[in-house]
Amino acid sequence: MSVPAAASPVRIEELPPALFGSAVALWHETGLTRSWNDPDDDLRRAIDGPSSTVLAALDAADDGADRLLGTVMVGHDGHRGWVYYLAVAPDARRRGLGPELMRAGEDWLRAHDIPKVQLMVRRQNAAVSAFYEALGYAYSDVVVMGRRLD
């Protein structure tokens, strides 16, 4: 996905259906997908569920159509908020969109009365921890365990 320099103001809002395919393409491009997860299913569940959503950073292309610059999936389990699929298009990086998307996700959780938020960083992507630390995130002294249910 190639995104030229910003030409119009960036908005953050719920991912419009017309850009679902672009979001999944961005997740593939930015290394966030794994063979054992179906990103289309992840997206559909997050959009359809009452306690989750996918937010998008958008600007307008030359023809006026929305253009996807970044995403964040956010949701809660009634106790904690969780963040997934934070991604900014490579050509739109280093201009604050990642932090803006994180703030938008946190605001969404606050609006749903959720008092804390956490996220998981894959060990292979540990360098990105510096990005989250700059936003006030700190390591939790926990071991995450999981298993598949299918």
Ligand X SMILES: CC(C)(COP(=O)(O)OP(=O)(O)OC[C@H]1O[C@@H](n2cnc3c(N)ncnc32)[C@H](O)[C@@H]1OP(=O)(O)O)[C@@H](O)C(=O)NCCC(=O)NCCS
Under the rule (CB under 6 A), what is the footprint of ligand X? 30, 32, 86-88, 93-99, 121, 125, 127-128, 130-131, 134
Min separation Cβ 132 and ligand X, Å: 8
Starting at the edge strand found earlier in the chain, the sheet holding 11-14 runs 11-14, 52-60, 66-76, 81-88, 117-119
Side chain identity, residue 96: G
Min separation Cβ 128 and ligand X, Å: 4
| Closer residue to ligand X in complex, CB, 130/138 | 130
| Closer residue to ligand X in complex, CB, 7/135 | 135
Min separation Cβ 145 and ligand X, Å: 19
Q: Which residue is nearest to ligand X (CB)?
A: 98
| Closer residue to ligand X in complex, CB, 79/94 | 94
Nearest partner of 3 among 97, 73, 129, 111, judged by Cα: 97
Side chain identity, residue 11: R
Half-sphere exposure of 81 (CA within 13 A, CB side): 22
